[in-house]
Amino acid sequence: MTTTPFLPTLRELTSAYQAFEAYSAVHIRTLDLTPAQFDIIATLGNTPGMPFKELGEKTLITKGTLTGVVDRLTDKKLVQRVASLSDGRSQTVQLTPQGVALFERIFPDHLAHLQRAFVELPPDELVNLEKSLHHLREALVSARNNIKATS
């Protein structure tokens, strides 16, 4: 059985992601936010807020950790908890007016910051990259589900 070498691809995936993280963090740190906190702000931006559970699923932060991250953002007056009307167990997390202001101030800057890295990449390569990454993710997720189903 022949094996296509996938290890170099995984190495590039890791390097590219880490380069993105490092580059992104340059800007995020100037805002006095951690990457996790920025992730929450960016996820809540342009939404009316969302339940804890959904926020955790979108940011891949587990509920126990999320409580702490949201606490810290609450201390900074950037987000707030609102009791859900429909479910007494549920809390909606939303940006405060200060949080909205921060989001609106920093997100365009963040995009501009990122865009500087992309100006030289050929558009068609960008599109292909997006598709291939999507396939790769699907393959990884389905392999993971196979394991879960088996064990």
Question: 3-class SS at 1?
Answer: coil
Asked if 20 interacts with its own copies (CB under 8 A), we say: yes
Q: Cβ closer to its own copies: 89 or 131?
A: 131
Asked if 65 interacts with its own copies (CB under 8 A), we say: no
Question: 3-class SS at 24?
Answer: helix
Tracing tokens 């993105």 back to the chain, one arrives at: 20
Supply the DSSP symbol for 30. Answer: T
Question: Residue 40 Cβ, how far from its own copies at the closest point, in Å?
Answer: 15
Instruction: Select from 7, 85, 86, 88 the one that contacts its own copies (CB under 8 A).
Output: 7
Instruction: Select from 82, 83, 101, 140 the one that contacts its own copies (CB under 8 A).
Output: 140
CA 126 – CA 13 distance, rounded (Å): 14
Amino acid in position 64: G
Instruction: Select from 87, 104, 109, 138 the one that contacts DNA (CB under 7 A).
Output: 87
**Alpha helices (runs of H) in the chain, residue ranges in sequence order:** 7-29, 35-44, 52-59, 63-75, 97-118, 123-150
Residue 68 interacts with which of its own copies, DNA, none, CB < 5 to 8 Å by class: DNA
Residues between 80 and 139 with contacts to its own copies, criterion CB under 8 A: 111, 114-118, 120-121, 123, 125-126, 128-130, 132-137, 139
Residues 6+ apart with CB under 8 A from 50: 44, 58, 92, 93, 94
Residues between 38 and 57 with contacts to DNA, criterion CB under 7 A: 51-53, 56
Centre a 10 Å sphere on the Cβ of residue 92 and count the other Cβ atoms it contains: 19
Asked if 28 interacts with DNA (CB under 7 A), we say: no
Size of the site for DNA (CB under 7 A): 29
Q: Is 25 exposed, middle or buried, given 0-12, 13-18 or 19+ CB atoms closer than 10 A?
A: middle
Enumerate binding residues for DNA (CB under 7 A).
25, 29, 34-37, 51-53, 56, 61-70, 72, 81, 84, 87-92
